[in-house]
Amino acid sequence: MGDEHADGPTDHERFVPREALNSIPMAVYHFDFDGRLGWWNARVAEVTGYSDEELSGMGIDRLLTAEDSAAVRETLDGAGPGHSWSVDLPVVTKDGEALPHRHEAAVATDADGSCIGVTGVAQPRSDGGSGEVEGARTYRRVIETVGGVIGALVAAGTQSEIERAVCEGLADSELYDAVWIGRLDRDGAVEPVTVAGPSTSAVDGMTEEWRGTDDARPALETAETGEVRVVRDIPTSSLPEPIREFAAENDIRSGVSVPIGREGAGGVLVAYSSRPDGFDDVEVGALEQLGRVVGFALNAAHTERLVLSEPVVELELRLTGEAMPFTRLAQAAPDVTGTMEWMNREPNGDITQYYTVHGADAEAVVEHTEAADHVESCTPVGESDSALYELRLARSAASQLLTAGAEAREITIEDGGVTVVATAPRDTDVRAVVEGVRSVYPETKLVAKRTLDGPGDEREEPTWSGDVSLTDRQFGALEAAFDAGYFEWPRDATAEEVADELDISAATLHYHLRRAERSLVESFLESRRE
């Protein structure tokens, strides 16, 4: 795709994958109401003969005849949300040649509903084929639909609102006959939780038909693997006969399932269409990107809920299956103990955790841990005697807890298994929390559920005069971080910058700071409880 102009990428460029746009055999473009090109795919450069550098910010006057350019600008003066056009306009090349094209275009809007320009798809008119014109119209509608749905997510605050906005937004486009979002249940099946579209009854019927088969449902495969599944011309496909018959009776000709979030941590988005050849690479690419954005939105919604709600329910979970990181190690070496020191969660759902592990050498820790499911890497961090390990995970108990509305507070390794202590708002569905973790680690048990005390009456703040014992490294890290402004908001220095001053890695700095902070907080709390 071409370079965007100096104002930066438009909302459409952010959600349509570059490789998907470039795979479209037609010219796809976006220009603002001043007539300047904002973004385009590779086909635009091929047709016009201009380079991406030349096209950047180019006025449409240079790509149309003078008469057509004046007509387009006059049309734009009265254009607003929802306006679209199907029009024949020749494209003027760099050499001055006018090439006949059919344009399918529509006014584009941003997340606030404000008009930001026009998005269009242009198809050569050499053969006048109506099928090619319809193809251009479909591409444009897919791009506009996904953009509109992503814009609607801005106003959605809760999980149910987000899921409803996605399903209803896609269904309203008339591209899809039914759209649903589902999640794995404790029995290992994918159940629809939000449904929209004119054929919603077909979703329930299709689910019932799949329950009667032993074959793996495409949506289930997506939930388990995090990979997209597309089935075209379902009535003649290799799916089980009852599914093919039901699809034919209900005019479901094609379907797609895409993961929500990283490897489907947030569930599965499924769409059915009466188009037998629906869901080509471009359409699937746009929907796959939508799944990632929905995952971001769900993560943000859950995080905000946890921050704004007082966590009054504490859950203790015991995980013993070999799929859980460190369980293999704990079972192989019963004396092994460990504690999660801190955790980072990336916007895309990736989890990085840091553990101190004692009772096993580094080689054994790495070998057993990387053999567990969903572990991308396990790496020793810092000095050889620190026993600190960085664990990168695609899916984890912590991420599933957050998806279900809870937050992991403590994770410990002992007695041949892993114990997770999590907190959640009072109205959290505890069963959904546990089932969410079981969808990744089936051998999970709810050991205890405790209601924590409320904030209570205000009490006089005691003076803190406790002694704190810090190692030289902990004190040095704490002092350097404080002096550099690491604890300011916003921070005056990053962890990497402080670590560079101390000639250590950022992970090692975090380790020393975490231990120092724990000692300080522990001493402070003990003084309050006396």
C-alpha 141/C-alpha 16 separation (Å) is 13
Mean pLDDT of the 451-455 span: 58
10: pLDDT strictly greater than 60 = no
52: pLDDT strictly greater than 80 = yes
pLDDT at position 96, please? 93
- The answer to whether the Cα torsion of 280, 281, 282, 283 is positive or negative is positive
Q: Where are the domains of the chain?
A: 11-153, 174-305, 313-451, 472-529
111: pLDDT strictly greater than 70 = no
Quote the mean pLDDT of the chain.
Answer: 79
pLDDT at position 7, please? 38
Mean pLDDT of the 192-210 span: 90
Query: Where is average pLDDT lowest: 63-77, 157-171, 191-205, 444-458?
Result: 444-458
Which helix (H) or strand (E) segment holds residue 357: the answer is strand 351-358
Mean pLDDT of the 108-122 span: 75
338-351 tens-digit pLDDT:
898 888 766 555 67
Mean pLDDT of the 135-140 span: 62
Grade residue 64 by pLDDT with cuts at 50, 70 and 90: very high
Query: Where is average pLDDT lowest: 418-432, 457-471, 503-517?
Result: 457-471
Mean pLDDT of the 454-465 span: 42
Grade residue 136 by pLDDT with cuts at 50, 70 and 90: low
Grade residue 49 by pLDDT with cuts at 50, 70 and 90: very high
Range among 5-9, 59-63, 103-107 rated most confident = 59-63
C-alpha 475/C-alpha 521 separation (Å) is 14
pLDDT at position 181, please? 94
C-alpha 220/C-alpha 199 separation (Å) is 21
Q: Which residues contact 213 (CB under 8 A, 6 or more apart)?
A: 240, 242, 243
- Options 3.30.499.10, 3.30.450.40, 3.30.70.890, 3.40.50.2300; CATH for 174-305 is 3.30.450.40
Query: Where is average pLDDT lowest: 111-115, 267-271, 359-363, 447-451?
Result: 111-115
217-247 tens-digit pLDDT:
999 999 888 899 999 999 999 999 999 999 9
202: pLDDT strictly greater than 80 = yes
Mean pLDDT of the 278-296 span: 80
Is there a common fold for 11-153 and 174-305?
Answer: yes
- The tally of CA atoms less than 13 A away on the side-chain side of residue 296 is 13
pLDDT at position 510, please? 84
272: pLDDT strictly greater than 90 = yes
pLDDT top residue among 42 and 155: 42
308: pLDDT strictly greater than 60 = no
- List the one residue out of 295, 238, 245 whose CA is nearest residue 265: 295
C-alpha 523/C-alpha 530 separation (Å) is 11
- Options 3.30.450.20, 1.20.1260.10, 3.40.50.2300, 3.30.390.30; CATH for 11-153 is 3.30.450.20
Say whether 391 sits in a helix, a strand or coil: strand
Where b means 16+ CB within 10 Å and e means fewer, 362-375 reads eebbbebbeebebb
384: pLDDT strictly greater than 70 = no
How far from 207 is each of 98, 201, 247, 394, CA to CA, in Å?
Answer: 53, 10, 12, 28
pLDDT at position 44, please? 92
